[in-house]
Chain A
């Protein structure tokens, strides 16, 4: 750009020192932890940082912790350093798990969880056969069963109606995540197909839909669903608040899912479309039997990642007064009987462990699937 360069180096640069002669642990330590002054300093600082973070946490959660009691007196009365206030969690455990779901009916929630786990586990293990039947049971039959069990309304067989405003805690978190997942996946697939369609109006509408929901924050979507949606529907339709939130979450997650699926569709070579057209398959058969099975397989990690995002986003419902796990936690903090600084940290530690465990398990599963499906090169 600046014309010919006039400068050319004439003499050689001095040679580098020979490589280190060591092996085993010593080599590893030298290379990975102490390969110079700067790195050694970094290592020492890291060890100090780790100790400064871990040791107080362990002391707080386990060593200095209070394990039994019935009110805040148990947690503030003691001398010495402040520890976690576990009796708070014990006292509030039912609320964290079920909200104010009637105590005599809580077995229904447990049963729903149990069936869910029984259907989910075989679905996740690749070696177990009958995947299609299993998936049908989990994604189509299970929601209906869960609805009947949780909502009820059949006094004669011992399932009285339980209003959704009594639901709360982990139950709401899981219901919203699960319904969001099974609603957003088909919606996302349809939108992704629409966005790649040859029909201009379908394509345009899909793009507008996707970009609209992706462009606004989830909380505005929840407000839209809670406060604005009722205006759009006939006055006689009384939609349950939880259902409104579910609609909002599904639309929002569907738009994100569409972009993930679109990535998968884009990765399918053109020959697959041409091949199935040559075999005489129509559009839907091409998609259902040839393209989508391959495309979805490609993007399983992406799909799981959007499930993780959806799971974390369910916490936002507390802003529209639906008490999920985090909402119940916050309500628990307001209890006069338990107000101490230690209660706050204990509650956050407890909820944090639950949120972390579920998200982390999902992300590890995504990683595992990615490695399993990776084409060896």
Chain B
């Protein structure tokens, strides 16, 4: 583009040296970065080999088949000391999922109650809920776990002086003992009946909606739905002669026989995780409800909506759009926070695998890599699903 005119003056844009060209610079920088990373990785590999050789540890995943040789205080599947480390991994993973799943249910229920209480018109209720959120959110979770475990559950009486709830549930320093369900013959029909009740309710709801569209007549779907879901299984139970019974725990000597014992580690972790996450969920609920413009409620009230319908048909669907991604985040946090159970000895994936297994096998690299990978997979899968969900829910604007 540079031209030399007849009198020798150079015109047009000056030639830029190649090293000042932003594109070439960009490529160069990235190549340098990549080279540095490759060098770093190479150094790591060299060091790992040298260190492993120096300390005489073997590497590889063969240890997963070795006998673990330690007991586990809570297991959802059959487990004995002669089982392998691989089985320990599965036991731990199931325990993690158990405490996370139950924790999520409790945290959601409590969080919604407290979040709505914070928005209450009642000054005292709103303040009380606000105080709960402030106190819980400003104390470390591990502090709360230790508090529940050491101070609250640790000071419960011995089994002989257990607190009892209606003579069915017993609280003592060994945990909580609840009645165990005993399934007799035909118990599986009850599950089927439950399913039937749910399907019938869905069909009823569709019919009621159709009829309301045409005639404006409403049908009490909620009440009749509950009737169906509880009633049908109850009828089945009655005709089969009540095949499900409960085994009440009995005090024999120094301990309880029968029933299911929930270990104190599980209870403490569950309480701490649920109450802690509930405070965050309460904030999510508040943010969600407040994100719905006030005009929406005013318009609905102007149209004659009652308060319940206003919430159900106008506020909640719009608030959910904001809340669902934030809620998922909290659920992920709860799952990740369940690793703190290791501080009180709850046998979750982290405690059993990165704790005990690592101590026994010294396979630090493999064990920590597997543990991190599990949590990473859970997080990434959830966030992919969330992204897909957000894409679907996005408001289509002009």
Q: Which residues of A contact B (CB under 8 A)?
A: 2, 5-9, 13, 28, 31-33, 35, 39, 42-43, 46-47, 49-50, 198-202, 205, 211-212, 214-220, 223-224, 227-228, 230-235, 308, 312-316, 318-319, 326, 330, 333, 341, 344-345, 348, 351-352, 355-356, 359-360, 363
Q: Once bound together, how far apart are the Cα atoms of A39 and B26, in whole Å?
A: 65
Kindly list chain B residues whose C-beta atoms are within 8 Å of the C-beta of A363.
Answer: 137-138
Given A43-B125, A319-B343, A326-B140, residue A9 in contact with residue B216 (CB < 8 A):
yes
CB of A212 within 8 A of CB of B376, answer: yes
Segment of B49-57, B176-184, B228-236, B316-324 engaged in the interface with chain A: B49-57
CB of B139 within 8 A of CB of A318, answer: no
Given A217-B337, A344-B151, residue A199 in contact with residue B124 (CB < 8 A):
no
In the complex, residue of chain B having the shortest beta-carbon distance to the beta carbon of A362: B138
CB of A355 within 8 A of CB of B375, answer: no
Q: Once bound together, how far apart are the Cα atoms of A214 and B380, in whole Å?
A: 10
Kindly list chain A residues whose C-beta atoms are within 8 Å of the C-beta of B47.
Answer: 231-235
Scan B365-380; emit 1 where CB is below 8 A from any A CB, else 0.
1001101100110011
Q: Which residues of B contact A (CB under 8 A)?
A: 26, 29-30, 33-34, 37, 44, 47-48, 50-52, 54, 120-125, 128, 134-135, 137-143, 146-147, 150-151, 154-155, 210, 212-216, 304, 336-337, 339-340, 342-343, 350, 354, 358, 364-365, 368-369, 371-372, 375-376, 379-380
Chain A nearest CB: distance from B93 CB in Å?
Answer: 14
Given A233-B47, A312-B139, A351-B143, residue A31 in contact with residue B150 (CB < 8 A):
no
CB of A33 within 8 A of CB of B376, answer: no
Kindly list chain B residues whose C-beta atoms are within 8 Å of the C-beta of A351.
Answer: 143
Kindly list chain B residues whose C-beta atoms are within 8 Å of the C-beta of A215.
Answer: 375-376, 379-380
CB of A33 within 8 A of CB of B215, answer: no
Contact of A312 among B33, B52, B141, B304 (CB under 8 A): B141
Kindly list chain B residues whose C-beta atoms are within 8 Å of the C-beta of A359.
Answer: 137-139
CB of B343 within 8 A of CB of A217, answer: no
Kindly list chain A residues whose C-beta atoms are within 8 Å of the C-beta of B52.
Answer: 231
CB of A7 within 8 A of CB of B33, answer: no
Contact of A50 among B51, B128, B142 (CB under 8 A): B128
- Besides the known contacts A2-B210, A216-B379, 15 further A-B residue pairs in the complex with CB atoms under 8 A apart: A6-B215, A7-B214, A13-B304, A42-B122, A199-B26, A201-B30, A211-B380, A214-B379, A217-B337, A219-B340, A223-B354, A341-B155, A344-B151, A344-B154, A355-B138
Interface secondary structure of B, over-half rule: helix
For B140, B142, B372, the residue with the greatest tally of chain A CB atoms inside 10 Å of its CB is B140
Kindly list chain A residues whose C-beta atoms are within 8 Å of the C-beta of B358.
Answer: 223, 227
CB of A228 within 8 A of CB of B304, answer: no
CB of A224 within 8 A of CB of B54, answer: no
Given A2-B213, A235-B51, A356-B139, residue A220 in contact with residue B150 (CB < 8 A):
no
CB of B368 within 8 A of CB of A220, answer: yes
CB of B364 within 8 A of CB of A199, answer: no
Chain A nearest CB: distance from B254 CB in Å?
Answer: 21
CB of A217 within 8 A of CB of B339, answer: yes
Kindly list chain A residues whose C-beta atoms are within 8 Å of the C-beta of B128.
Answer: 46, 49-50
Kindly list chain A residues whose C-beta atoms are within 8 Å of the C-beta of B37.
Answer: 205
Contact of A227 among B337, B368, B375 (CB under 8 A): B368
Kindly list chain A residues whose C-beta atoms are within 8 Å of the C-beta of B122.
Answer: 32-33, 35, 39, 42-43, 46
Q: Once bound together, how far apart are the Cα atoms of A230 and B342, in whole Å?
A: 23
Kindly list chain B residues whose C-beta atoms are within 8 Å of the C-beta of A200.
Answer: 30
CB of B350 within 8 A of CB of A217, answer: yes
CB of B376 within 8 A of CB of A198, answer: no
Kindly list chain B residues whose C-beta atoms are within 8 Å of the C-beta of A212.
Answer: 376
Chain B nearest CB: distance from A263 CB in Å?
Answer: 14
Kindly list chain B residues whose C-beta atoms are within 8 Å of the C-beta of A326.
Answer: 140, 142-143, 146
Q: Once bound together, how far apart are the Cα atoms of A162 and B356, in whole Å?
A: 32
Kindly list chain A residues whose C-beta atoms are within 8 Å of the C-beta of B380.
Answer: 211, 215
Kindly list chain B residues whose C-beta atoms are within 8 Å of the C-beta of A233.
Answer: 47
CB of A219 within 8 A of CB of B143, answer: no
Kindly list chain A residues whose C-beta atoms are within 8 Å of the C-beta of B150.
Answer: 330, 333, 344, 348
Given A316-B340, A326-B142, residue A235 in contact with residue B54 (CB < 8 A):
yes
In the complex, residue of chain B having the shortest beta-carbon distance to the beta carbon of A215: B379
Chain A nearest CB: distance from B298 CB in Å?
Answer: 14
Q: Once bound together, how far apart are the Cα atoms of A9 and B216, in whole Å?
A: 8
Chain B nearest CB: distance from A103 CB in Å?
Answer: 27
Q: What are 20 pairs between A and B in contact, CB < 8 Å?
A: A2-B213, A33-B123, A205-B37, A211-B380, A214-B379, A215-B379, A216-B375, A218-B336, A224-B372, A232-B47, A312-B139, A312-B140, A314-B140, A315-B141, A316-B142, A319-B340, A326-B143, A345-B151, A356-B135, A360-B138
Kindly list chain A residues whose C-beta atoms are within 8 Å of the C-beta of B212.
Answer: 7
Q: Once bound together, how far apart are the Cα atoms of A33 and B358, in whole Å?
A: 57
Q: Once bound together, how far apart are the Cα atoms of A351 and B146, in whole Å?
A: 12
CB of B142 within 8 A of CB of A315, answer: yes
CB of B339 within 8 A of CB of A219, answer: yes
In the complex, residue of chain A having the shortest beta-carbon distance to the beta carbon of B52: A231
Q: Once bound together, how far apart are the Cα atoms of A216 and B34, in whole Å?
A: 25
In the complex, residue of chain B having the shortest beta-carbon distance to the beta carbon of A221: B372
Q: Once bound together, how far apart are the Cα atoms of A198 and B26, in whole Å?
A: 9
Contact of B375 among A35, A42, A220 (CB under 8 A): A220
Top 9 A-B pairs, shortest CB-CB distance: A7-B216, A215-B379, A359-B138, A32-B123, A217-B336, A312-B140, A201-B30, A344-B151, A227-B364
Contact of A352 among B143, B213, B215 (CB under 8 A): B143
Chain B nearest CB: distance from A110 CB in Å?
Answer: 25
CB of A220 within 8 A of CB of B372, answer: yes
